[in-house]
């Protein structure tokens, strides 16, 4: 009997150690994805494609467990408007996007755009951790950015619309320019962090579909309702995409149903 109990206990431990740290729930047009545990930190990568491809194509090519859309891009030049880092190397640098030179409005506000919020996986003296911060903010001593993707705006702890050039107001406080449809209801890809008791971190991803479109204030409130410490948006609207097992989400704003061709992605690699 003692041997049987020991055997069953070992089976339980074995099953627990291989439990998938990806939890996906769906409610009222919103997918809520939670990534937990230390092991998954080594499986997260931000990647880019030389040419624009759909989220499903990126998912299949990278043979990943989960894939979502990430940074902003210029569909005309097919170049990134967001910084992307992979394996400590900057693989996409928006400063080389011709749009900044040919568009006078973007050129005048380049500092704000280049310092938009990004999601980072940091290696801190061989210990991995997550961080959401502005691109130009320094990492802690003994830490280095392993992989990251820029998007924006920051949602929590503070909404940074004007600081990141998503909204421009006149002297009377009236909005005279809007980017990424932040003030309109649309599909959205959101990512945030929650610190648990004991210091462990969870990633919370929200795929807000066309069935429940949100403006950026509603997106912020959604993240706040889960008591996240920090949160940000990736590219949204017609770019909103998500692939996991038999789940394939694309924005209905795209004709054909295959999804919009994109530049960069967050993937969870298979072990």
CA 248 to CA 130: how far, in whole Å?
26
CA 145 to CA 96: how far, in whole Å?
21
Task: Tell me how many domains the chain contains.
Answer: 1
For residue 165, being part of any structural domain is answered with: yes
DSSP H/E element including 233: strand 230-233
Phi, psi of 90 (to 5 degrees): -75, 110
For residue 22, being part of any structural domain is answered with: no
Reported confidence tier of residue 23, pLDDT bands at 50, 70, 90: very high
- Which whole number is the average pLDDT over 126-148? 96
For residue 230, being part of any structural domain is answered with: yes
pLDDT at 14 exceeding the cut of 60 = no
CA 192 to CA 226: how far, in whole Å?
10
* pLDDT one-digit tens code per residue, 208-221: 999 999 999 999 99
What residues make up the domain containing 101?
40-248+260-269
- Which whole number is the average pLDDT over 132-136? 98
CA 265 to CA 234: how far, in whole Å?
10
**pTM for this predicted structure:** 0.91
For residue 48, being part of any structural domain is answered with: yes
CA 34 to CA 241: how far, in whole Å?
16
Phi, psi of 62 (to 5 degrees): -85, -5
For residue 102, being part of any structural domain is answered with: yes
Reported confidence tier of residue 199, pLDDT bands at 50, 70, 90: very high
Which has the closest alpha carbon to 130: 115, 114, 116, 118? 118
pLDDT at 254 exceeding the cut of 70 = no
For residue 222, being part of any structural domain is answered with: yes
Residue 18's pLDDT is what?
A: 40
For residue 3, being part of any structural domain is answered with: no
Q: How many helices (H) and strands (E) does the chain have?
A: 6, 20
Reported confidence tier of residue 100, pLDDT bands at 50, 70, 90: confident
183: left (phi > 0), else alpha (psi -120 to 50), else beta?
A: alpha
pLDDT at 16 exceeding the cut of 80 = no
pLDDT at 108 exceeding the cut of 60 = yes
For residue 169, being part of any structural domain is answered with: yes
Q: List the structure tokens of 259.
A: 């999804």
CA 48 to CA 127: how far, in whole Å?
25
Reported confidence tier of residue 256, pLDDT bands at 50, 70, 90: low
* pLDDT one-digit tens code per residue, 38-69: 999 999 999 999 999 999 999 999 999 999 99
Please give the share of the chain, as a percent, with pLDDT higher than 70: 91
CA 189 to CA 241: how far, in whole Å?
8
């Amino acid at each position: 009997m003692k041997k049987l109990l020991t055997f069953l206990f070992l089976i339980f431990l074995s099953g627990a150690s291989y439990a998938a740290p990806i939890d996906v729930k769906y409610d009222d047009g919103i997918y809520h994805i939670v990534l937990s545990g230390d092991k998954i930190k080594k499986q997260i990568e931000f990647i880019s494609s030389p040419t624009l491809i759909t989220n499903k194509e990126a998912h299949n090519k990278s043979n990943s467990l989960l894939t979502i859309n990430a940074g902003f891009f210029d569909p005309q030049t097919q170049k990134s408007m967001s910084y992307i880092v992979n394996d400590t190397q900057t693989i996409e640098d928006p400063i080389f996007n011709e749009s900044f030179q040919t568009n006078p409005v973007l050129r005048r506000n380049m500092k704000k755009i280049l310092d938009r919020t990004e999601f980072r996986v940091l290696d801190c003296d061989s210990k991995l951790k997550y961080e959401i911060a502005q691109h130009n903010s320094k990492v802690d001593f003994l830490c280095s950015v392993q992989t990251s993707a820029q998007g924006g705006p920051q949602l929590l702890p503070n909404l940074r619309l004007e600081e990141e050039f998503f909204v421009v107001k006149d002297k009377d406080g009236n909005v005279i320019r809007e980017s990424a449809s932040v003030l309109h209801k649309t599909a959205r890809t959101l990512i945030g962090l929650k610190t648990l008791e004991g210091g462990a971190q969870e990633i919370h991803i929200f795929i807000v579909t066309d069935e429940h479109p949100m403006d950026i204030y509603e997106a912020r409130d959604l993240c706040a309702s889960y008591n996240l410490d920090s949160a940000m948006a990736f590219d949204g609207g017609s770019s909103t995409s998500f692939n996991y097992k038999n789940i394939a989400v694309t924005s209905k704003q795209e004709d054909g149903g295959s999804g919009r061709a994109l530049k960069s992605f967050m993937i969870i690699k298979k072990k």
